[in-house]
Amino acid sequence: MAFAGMNREIRKVGVIGSGNIGPDITLFLSKVFTPHGVPVVLVDIAPEALERGRARIRKKLDKGVTAGAFQPDFADRMIENIRFTTDYADLSGADLVIEAATEELSIKEKIFAELERVCAPDALLASNSSHLEPDVIFGRVREAHRCLVAHFFFPAERNLIVEIVPHAKTDRAITTFAMKFFEAIGKVPIRVKGRYGYAVNPVFEGLFHAALLLVDRGYASEKVVDAIAQKALKMGVGPFTGMNLTGGTPITYRGMQHYHTKIMPWFEVHPRLEERFRSGEPWPAAGRGEVVEYDEATYEAVAKRLQGAYLGLVNEVYGSGIVELGDLELAVETALVIEGPFKMMNRLGIETALSLVQA
C-alpha cells in the first residue's frame, strides 16, 4: 500500500539511528503510516542500540495503551510495522529516509553515501541534525537537490514542531513537498534558513547557558533557577530538567563551541558544562512532586535575568533573518513549551522588555 498526495507516493520510510531521538521519530512515523500499510525501517549498525530502541518504543506504546491513547491491537500493529535492522539494504525502495544519527559530520557523510547507494534517485533524503548547516551536511552528496534538514524536537512522537531547512541546492519542489507533507501527517513545519543551530536551539541552549551563569554567580541553585524559570517564563520544565530529559548535554557542549564564533561571543563552553559532558552525570533537578522554596528577592533577581536573556536570544534569532516572526513565535512557544516571546513582550510592554534585555 502507499500514502499518496502532493504528486508523490510514500511506500516505505526509513530512519537511521536508534539513539536519542531516532526511536521516537520511528514511533511517530509508524503511528502515521501503519494504517496505510506503509512499512517503517529503523537502521543502526549496533544491534544493542536497536534493542534499546525497540524497548523504548514498546514502553511508550504500553504507556499509550494505559493512558487510552492507543487500542492494544493498534499498538501491536505499530511495532510489528517497524523493521529493526543493521542492514542498509533493507532501505531499498524507501521513498523517504530521515537520518537521526549523532552530530558528527563524518558519520553523516558516510550515512548519506550509503543512502545514495541503496535508495532510488527520487527518494527524499533528510537529516534530523539539530545544528549542522545543510550546506555542510550535504556537501558531498551527488544528488543533493533532494536533500534537506527536517529537525524534530523532543519528544519527537508528540512535539509538533519540525524545522525544515533547505540548502542552496535543494530543489524548491522538494522544500514545498516537505512543508506540505509534514503538515499532512500532523506536524507543524517551520521554514528556516541554514544558519548553525537553526532557529530554536540557540534559544533553548542560550537560555540554559543563562541559567548556568546565574547558578555560577550565586543567584540561586539549579533547582531554584528551574522553579523560577517555570513561573517567570511559563515553561513546562526548567532549563536543567529540560537538559536532563532531552539528553542534550553532549550536543549543547559541542554547539556552544560553534555558537561562540558563528552567532556571538556571549555563547561559550562553561566549565561546568564541560564537567557534565565529561562525566555524563545529570544536572541537579527537583524530583517529581518536590517543593522548591525561594524568597521574593531571589525570584525577582533570577526572573528578570532569565526574561532578559530569553527575549534577547529570540530577538537575535529574528534579527538574523533566518525565520519569519510568526513562525519563530510558534516554534519557540510550541517546541520549548514556554510563553511565546513576542506575546511576553506585549504583556510586559516594549519599554520593560527592552530594559530587561539591556540589563
Answer yes or no: do 173 and 236 share one domain.
Answer: no
CB atoms within 10 A of CB 253: 17
Instruction: Output the pLDDT for position 7.
Output: 81
Instruction: Output the pLDDT for position 3.
Output: 80
Residue among 278, 174, 292, 296 nearest 237 (CA)? 292
pTM as predicted = 0.95
pLDDT < 70 positions in the chain:
none
Domain boundary among 157, 173, 191: 191
Answer yes or no: do 269 and 140 share one domain.
Answer: no
Instruction: Output the pLDDT for position 319.
Output: 98
> Helix, strand, coil: what percent of the chain each, to 5?
55, 10, 35
Q: How many residues does the chain have?
A: 359
C-beta separation of 305 from 265 below 8 A? no
Instruction: Output the pLDDT for position 2.
Output: 73
Answer yes or no: do 83 and 224 share one domain.
Answer: no
Compute CA distances 229 → 240, 253, 269, 305, 335, whole Å: 10, 21, 21, 10, 16
Instruction: Output the pLDDT for position 238.
Output: 97
What letter would DSSP give residue 1? Answer: -
Whichever domain contains 78, its CATH number is 3.40.50.720
Answer yes or no: do 148 and 237 share one domain.
Answer: no
Instruction: Output the pLDDT for position 336.
Output: 97
- Domain extent for 236: 200-358
Give the distance from CA 352 to its chain's centroid: 31
C-beta separation of 177 from 203 below 8 A? no
3, β-bridge pairs? 10
Instruction: Output the pLDDT for position 80.
Output: 98
Residue among 191, 107, 93 nearest 148 (CA)? 191
Which contiguous run of DSSP H or E holds residue 4? strand 3-5
9, β-bridge pairs? 4
Count of domains for the chain: 2
Instruction: Output the pLDDT for position 6.
Output: 75
Residue among 240, 322, 245, 242 nearest 283 (CA)? 240
Answer yes or no: do 152 and 179 share one domain.
Answer: yes
Instruction: Output the pLDDT for position 235.
Output: 97
